[in-house]
């Protein structure tokens, strides 16, 4: 089975392809000739995942899936949430985003947070949503050089290291994206 993954983020493609069985091949946006950034104009993570999947299905006619992810910090009422990638500005710099979050939380004792991923699958004219959540906390400083985004400052619950200190395989088992992808795979196997 071939599915378009509606993202230009090569890190996400690698992470998800690693989790999928060999029977499912991911086709990139580049491969179908979609070189533009799909607008993410919804005010929810679910909404952005739906917008991206619908864009590919409507404009290109492919079965596809899209995801959107946000980091939700308890003491910040769920921020940065849907604005996680642009938290420090439109330049979408992971370093700037992490630095801003660490600065905002500098005097905060409640550092509880969760990553939330929603995957929207458009398959044969029907739409399905899958949600994965990874609970944890924001660390005081960056640690590790694996992963991407906020991984160096997110320590998942039950672990003493950040996502950025785990291998791709280890992270995939416990991550928000891993959990949502697991649901996607289970669905695809039964349909």
Q: Which residues are catalytic?
A: 68
Q: How far apart are CA 50 and CA 45, in angstroms?
A: 9
Distance CA 62, CA 81 (A): 29
Question: Under DSSP, is residue 84 helix (H, G, I), strand (E, B) or coil?
Answer: helix
| Contact by Cβ (8 Å): 143, 164 | yes
Residue 75 Cα distances to 78, 110, 137, angstroms:
7, 6, 11
Residues 6+ apart with CB under 8 A from 87: 79, 80, 96, 97, 100, 101
31 contact partners, CB below 8 Å, separation of at least 6: 4
The neighbouring-strand residues paired with 114 are: 72, 135
CB contact at 8 A, 37 and 55? no
């Amino acid at each position: 089975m071939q599915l378009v993954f509606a993202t230009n983020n090569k890190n996400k493609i690698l992470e998800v392809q690693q989790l999928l069985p060999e029977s499912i091949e991911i086709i990139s946006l580049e491969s179908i000739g979609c070189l533009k950034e799909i607008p993410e104009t919804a005010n929810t993570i679910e909404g952005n995942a739906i917008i991206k999947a619908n864009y590919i299905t409507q404009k290109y006619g492919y079965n596809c899936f899209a995801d959107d992810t946000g980091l939700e910090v308890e003491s910040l009422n769920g921020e940065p949430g849907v604005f996680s990638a642009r938290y420090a500005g439109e330049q979408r710099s992971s370093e700037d985003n992490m630095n801003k979050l660490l600065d905002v939380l500098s005097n905060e004792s409640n550092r509880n947070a969760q990553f939330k991923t929603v995957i929207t699958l458009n398959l044969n004219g029907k739409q399905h949503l899958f949600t994965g959540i990874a609970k944890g906390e924001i660390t005081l400083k960056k640690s590790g050089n694996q992963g991407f985004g906020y991984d160096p400052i997110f320590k998942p619950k039950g672990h003493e290291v950040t996502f950025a200190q785990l291998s791709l395989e280890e992270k995939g088992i416990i991550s928000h994206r891993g959990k949502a992808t697991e649901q996607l795979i289970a669905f695809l196997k039964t349909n």
